[in-house]
Structure 1
Amino acid sequence: MQVDRRSFMGGVGALGALAATGEGHSATQPQRPNIIFIMADDLGYADLSCTGSHHIKTPAIDSIGAQGIRLRQGYANSSICSPTRTALLTGCYQYRFAIGVEEPLGPAAPEGIGVPLDQPTIASVMRGIGYRTKLIGKWHLGEPPKHSPLHHGYDEFFGIVEGAADYFRHHMVMGGKNVGIGLAQGDTPIERNGYLTDLFGDEAVRTIENAGDTPFFLSLHFNAPHWPWEGREDAAVASTLGASFHYNGGSLAKYREMVEAMDQNVAKLLAALERSGKADKTIIVFTSDNGGERFSETWPFTGVKGELLEGGIRVPLLMRWPGGIAAGSQSDQVMISMDFLPTLLALAGGDVARAGRFDGMDLSAQLTGKAGVVQRSLFWRYKENGQAALRDGEWKYLKLGDKEHLFNLAEDERERADHVADDPARLKAMRLKWDSWNAQMLPYPLGSFSEDVRDHYADRY
């Protein structure tokens, strides 16, 4: 069913307060599972050893899928960072919100922009059913205090506010100087020594060990392997960088080091769950915010971050829940970032219908083997180069600039056998379907970026 934006947002506002109250939660209900949602930054589909990396070893992350389920058709809501994070937070297409139309969210965005404060979020709906909520890592969805994580459903926050940070200086660096808020505890900037990936992993371990019996929802959003290209031994290099836009640096070896450092921190987290007796009571998700960048692998897909080809939006997606998800499962279910809110809420025993109205789909039955794969339609757009995409079942409509394409992903996931000429009726129908969806979304603001700022920040976050 198509829902216009006015009706959609009206329903969201009316139900937001209900979601926050936790009405209907009973102390007599069985213990809810803990949930740990791990998201990498700019990790490509084939950058894990279990998804096909030629040189990176990720045994800890791989184990999440081996002991649970791996979805080969996992998608990000956008080919860049902050729009995907908007969709993840809200369970909705990011284009329903002004912040989601900023591609990316950067210095040229309107002051004070953020997700509406009355919008139910993945954190607020979990808090509403009795979870303690915490975000560790990257936020990139607005500036404190008005739009800090603490005002969007999280009880605690430890991480970086902006879209990127030096791994040692913990700030964006421009002109040789630290800029922005950088590392924060709650709404307060703080100073810590150490490599960011390790700081985030250590904080996650402490959170698990100190959790007690209250169920927790932990968002662990690593900034790895996003630039600047720094490993654990590069503190001296970091101190000399004039800007975080480290485009004359990096290598396949350095990228491997950064991803494997993240995997080692996931290993610490898994060990903490075992020590604390929480491993069998915890749902773990691992995914990425968009496709990979310059040192990444996306095989067998083409395209990278900033493109709506499969390589720019197809991401790893692994989930583990002992006793709830069968170990060693694989699924062809299509799942996207905005699905996590309704799906995890349902797995936790919450009432999705009472929580709000979402574009994301509850796929809990598909993940737990109680229902088969469901076909669906998913939409993307990206203002750079006039990109548009629709996945409708196995077919994909793709527009790059003024050129349209039509692919059957079941037969050609590399997007090379173009059916534009031989199936004009399907092309027209899918174009019209995308146009109908797009008419319900916010338009891109005219002049939201000056040309020089857009060129500088395009595909940077």
Structure 2
Amino acid sequence: MPDQSTTPSGLSRRGLAGAAVGVLGAAAVVGAGAGEASAEQPFRAIASKGRRPRPNILIILADDLGAADLSAYGSPDIETPHLDALAASGVRFTQGYSAGAVCSPTRIALYTGRHPGRIPGGLQEPIGQANDRDGIPPSHPTLASLLKGAGYSTHMVGKWHGGFLPTFGPLKSGWDTFYGNYSGGLDYFSKYAHNGLYDLYDGETRVEDPRYYTDILTEKATAVIRAGARQHRPWLFNLNFTAPHWPWEGPGDKAVSDELTTRLRNGDAQALFHNDGGSLEKYKELVEHLDRSIGKVLAELRRTGQDRDTIVLFASDNGGERFSYNWPFTGNKAGVNEGGIRVPAILSWPGRIAKRQVDDLPVTTTDWTATFLELGGASPDPAYPLDGTSLVGHLFEGEDVPERDLFWRTRSGRALRRGDLKYVRLNGTDRLYDLAVDVREQADLAKKRPADLAALRAAWEKVDAGLLAYA
């Protein structure tokens, strides 16, 4: 059952539950084809029956999807029946966080299980150009390399964004196969990246495919799932969509792609940021097409009989931006307010995790790394200690998660959450918020509670002292 203990300041560790559940659509989730709404229940672990098998691990990342951009999380306009069904099949977390406020830091945190600032590549927000410094060093253990050492096959399709060739890449960091892009923003048709370079690869070999990128990734993903059914060992599959990241191109927007790509080739370095395009309707189209695509991948998992052997995580790499729906949070992508780091987080493992559950436990990217390593029977390298906390005991034995701080750092901001208290520094000013009653971070308690502010600031500075400094 959810832990109801209190922090040293007397705040309930789950005090935000009521606010978070209420604003993020916890009243009901409708499963695709279910025909009726089913009320969610507070999370409770299923009693263990014998030895738990090592699961296949499917991690699906959306790109720049906001905290409330799914209908399961309260979107008033966007319909996501397939992801709603995934939520109905397992547990929906109301307090999911990304480890970074933009693409590269979060992905590096997921792949390494550590704060982004522990390696030079994690200091880039995001990694934009190829060099021999900014990326995950091939010598650094990763989720893939550690699971591979424990007998898993490892695969990635989609956006890597952990460093460029020839120095960095998935195949150098433990993944057996890779098909996708190395950069961040990518045109959905031409496959040119915002740095002006073509960026579609099968492994480390450039390939051509003019089709809509989300559809290509879906096709490749279903092939990985099919191949997994034919092998006799568990697999890790990182499926990293670029949707709904800019440019604002749906499946029928080849003409928009042609215009933006021409501008990019003619020297307009800002073309793919698409500041002169997009709309709420176009964003809705991108997210709903992503939902249908994920539905196809999950259908293949069921068709091949692997669904009960596979734990599935769906999340976003950071908060949403321009057209995203982040209500009730303040801020968006690139900031350390809740809107920049709150993300959807859905976990499903039929038969091992009960259906239609909601969990108010605060969880972050590096927790998932630690969790999947433990489930896969892989031990972290003691020379590279993890910064996340495994949730295995909580998810499968009903254990309380030990009290821990959640930490964020960007070039322009800092944040640390302890219980329901959150310390934030923005524009050089320290602030303190009680998320249990002020999820919008509007009531600054810094002057009313100076001791709490000092304690959280000192905790942030202690972690920061062990990280690399920004140049």
Q: Common fold, TM-score beyond 0.5?
A: yes
Contact map agreement 2:423 2:453 (CA 8 A) in 1 = yes
Q: 1:146 Cα shift?
A: 2.4
| Letter aligned with residue 427 of structure 1 | L
Partner of residue 426, structure 1: 452
Q: 1:401 Cα shift?
A: 1.3
Contact map agreement 1:76 1:336 (CA 8 A) in 2 = yes
Is 1:438 the counterpart of 2:460? The answer is: no
Contact map agreement 1:332 1:373 (CA 8 A) in 2 = no
| Letter aligned with residue 213 of structure 2 | L
Is 1:47 the counterpart of 2:69? The answer is: yes
Partner of residue 235, structure 1: 254
Q: 1:173 Cα shift?
A: 5.3
Structure 2, gaps ≥5 residues long: 1-50, 264-270
Structure 1, gaps ≥5 residues long: 1-28, 446-461
Task: Tell me, in whole angstroms, the C-alpha distance in 2 between the residues paired with 1:332 and 1:245.
Answer: 35
Partner of residue 157, structure 1: 178
Compared CA separation, residues 366 and 355, structure 1 to 2 (3 A):
farther
Out of 405, 412, 418, which is 1:392 matched to? 418
Q: 1:110 Cα shift?
A: 4.6
Task: Tell me, in whole angstroms, the C-alpha distance in 2 between the residues paired with 1:69 and 1:347.
Answer: 17
Q: Secondary structure at the match of 1:379?
A: strand
Contact map agreement 1:38 1:222 (CA 8 A) in 2 = yes
The runs of at least 4 aligned residues of structure 1 exceeding 6 Å deviation read none
Partner of residue 341, structure 1: 369
What do the CA deviations read for 1:35-83 (whole angstroms, capped 9, x no partner)?
1100000000000000011111111112222111111111101111101
Compared CA separation, residues 352 and 253, structure 1 to 2 (3 A):
same
Counting only pairs closer than 5 Å after superposition, residues 58-73 of structure 1 correspond to structure 2 as 58-73=80-95
Compared CA separation, residues 86 and 356, structure 1 to 2 (3 A):
same
Out of 328, 337, 345, which is 1:300 matched to? 328
Contact map agreement 1:161 1:181 (CA 8 A) in 2 = no
Out of 394, 400, 403, which is 1:366 matched to? 394
Contact map agreement 2:315 2:343 (CA 8 A) in 1 = yes
| Letter aligned with residue 407 of structure 1 | Y
Q: Secondary structure at the match of 2:293?
A: helix
Partner of residue 223, structure 1: 242
Counting only pairs closer than 5 Å after superposition, residues 75-114 of structure 1 correspond to structure 2 as 75-107=97-129, 110-114=131-135
Contact map agreement 2:78 2:287 (CA 8 A) in 1 = yes
Task: Tell me, in whole angstroms, the C-alpha distance in 2 between the residues paired with 1:383 and 1:216.
Answer: 36
| Letter aligned with residue 306 of structure 1 | A
Compared CA separation, residues 145 and 322, structure 1 to 2 (3 A):
same
| Letter aligned with residue 117 of structure 1 | P
Partner of residue 277, structure 1: 305
Q: Secondary structure at the match of 2:409?
A: strand
Task: Tell me, in whole angstroms, the C-alpha distance in 2 between the residues paired with 1:370 and 1:432.
Answer: 32
Is 1:315 the counterpart of 2:343? The answer is: yes
Task: Tell me, in whole angstroms, the C-alpha distance in 1 between the residues paired with 2:380 and 2:199.
Answer: 35
Compared CA separation, residues 408 and 31, structure 1 to 2 (3 A):
closer
Q: TM-score, normalised by structure 2?
A: 0.84
Contact map agreement 2:120 2:133 (CA 8 A) in 1 = no
Contact map agreement 1:171 1:181 (CA 8 A) in 2 = yes
Contact map agreement 2:391 2:401 (CA 8 A) in 1 = no
Partner of residue 35, structure 1: 57
Compared CA separation, residues 74 and 355, structure 1 to 2 (3 A):
farther
Contact map agreement 1:120 1:355 (CA 8 A) in 2 = no
| Letter aligned with residue 422 of structure 2 | K
Compared CA separation, residues 351 and 440, structure 1 to 2 (3 A):
closer
Partner of residue 191, structure 1: 208
Q: Secondary structure at the match of 1:330?
A: strand
Task: Tell me, in whole angstroms, the C-alpha distance in 2 between the residues paired with 1:403 and 1:392.
Answer: 19
| Letter aligned with residue 329 of structure 2 | F
Task: Tell me, in whole angstroms, the C-alpha distance in 1 between the residues paired with 2:353 and 2:314.
Answer: 14
Q: 1:113 Cα shift?
A: 2.6
Task: Tell me, in whole angstroms, the C-alpha distance in 1 between the residues paired with 2:462 and 2:334.
Answer: 24
Q: 1:419 Cα shift?
A: 0.8
Task: Tell me, in whole angstroms, the C-alpha distance in 2 between the residues paired with 1:135 and 1:245.
Answer: 25
Partner of residue 144, structure 2: 123
What do the CA deviations read for 1:232-278 (whole angstroms, capped 9, x no partner)?
00012211211212110000000011011111111101110111111
Partner of residue 10, structure 1: none
Contact map agreement 1:381 1:389 (CA 8 A) in 2 = yes
Task: Tell me, in whole angstroms, the C-alpha distance in 2 between the residues paired with 1:349 and 1:113.
Answer: 30
Q: 1:354 Cα shift?
A: 6.9
Compared CA separation, residues 61 and 369, structure 1 to 2 (3 A):
farther
Contact map agreement 2:100 2:106 (CA 8 A) in 1 = yes
